[in-house]
Structure 1
């Protein structure tokens, strides 16, 4: 790595987690996209970011607000996003000089949202901001050569968005997305418990339930701590995981539809490449049990799970930053 690049920082600002790196080595920061801010005596200060802030959700006193600054891949709170990114930059920069920051973003962000993110990052201390679209970051991070005429398809399934994209000659051929992604499944599990079990569970509990359900096998029962919605008291509750299979299948079906839309909108010349090479599956939701097999069966195309689906975007963003001019056509 040359001195020119020692102060480069790549950020995967995800809805659920944020990943930061300043090289292709291990990620420097891989924690929840969450920040805890104290408002006291007319002044505000940051209490915690990342996982430490997430632990405070639902447990913080009245003068501490726990915020997720990103919703469905877009900025939901400009000021907290600026504070959050400033904290990340301070942790990741390797000199006193202002760093060049690359942020991977969903394709569906509007120009207003892109400008807000750009401005927030500049105000957070960057000397230059490069906005890199997720399909390119994910593809490069997964090891795909997107510069050739041979088309590559990637499905990036995350917490806030699922994006299916086909790339050829360094540019986007087709793309489709849905906001009914990992978080959507979590909230569906929470609502099922509320309406069918009369219990309230946290989003964290819903996430754990989602990760432990196999749609193709029989599932065990688990014991959880919940809130009895009839009398408001805490309760130890036994959940049968098989009850949630339809919710998981519904989430998988939405991913299938997004992938199918991207494929249907592609020209016929792309078909042989997809048949021979298949599709790469990446993102946190890619690790959901049975998703790879479900998509492969439904789409009748080989699905290849990335070797490092959680880190592809941050790694790809950093690699693109090092040769930004050659990728700029598609970005």
Structure 2
């Protein structure tokens, strides 16, 4: 078959799930491809591209899908690539395409393993749950595919309105408003089901502020509230917040379009600039637009990109295989103020 978004998604997922040469060889052999046919030059993404291309020549991509499903049945990328209704995760930009990753040094990695205590007051959980109420899943229906992301309700300084904030690459054009749903309360309940959700639409007549991926990668807009129930989901106050290296961050997100989840603690900032922060944590592409919090539950950034380890990078502590970047909330606040002042 011609290379398509499903094969690209399979490529992305396998590069994240099976990135060592040994794992790649094992899965490729299960799908019917001998190691001698694999081009091992490049990173895991490039090696898997070689594997999939070779299997495609032999009409064996279905075998690879079956192998991947057997080993990684819980992975939403793979399930979406296999399923009849395709969820397109390719909208998220690759970190190496939009930014330069600064490798963490030994002292920073040591913080993850031994230097700082993980003891927290019990109120930490209560405050986090309050913030989580304002976080929602974003779905944008594009033809037969659905783009997914995360966003949150927020109030900017010196402005009384409540806005919804997500990434520009999640929704960037007003033409997509009729096909977009903002879904609150998409969470697991204690019985293993999903809580009662509520769906809102974007207010097409309201304030609409965007900034492209290579600038602030943000879309800020108002939500229609015909039933006057939006107040039930509160909002998160935004402030200019410091984001120093070695500070821990927590991310409330809808990874892969799944129910709301939390990447909690020992996720560390490895680099900080005026525009971005970089950090090690677990995210998926549906996490785009998620709020990145510090330990006081102040938003320090809006998550917008991630990437797997490159072949020349040293292994990270167990569980920390993802490189991630967010746009600093200070920069987004400054951009919002500028646009409002200019009469946007």
Q: TM-score, normalised by structure 1?
A: 0.29
Higher relative contact order (CA 8 A, sep 6+): 1
Q: TM-score, normalised by structure 2?
A: 0.28
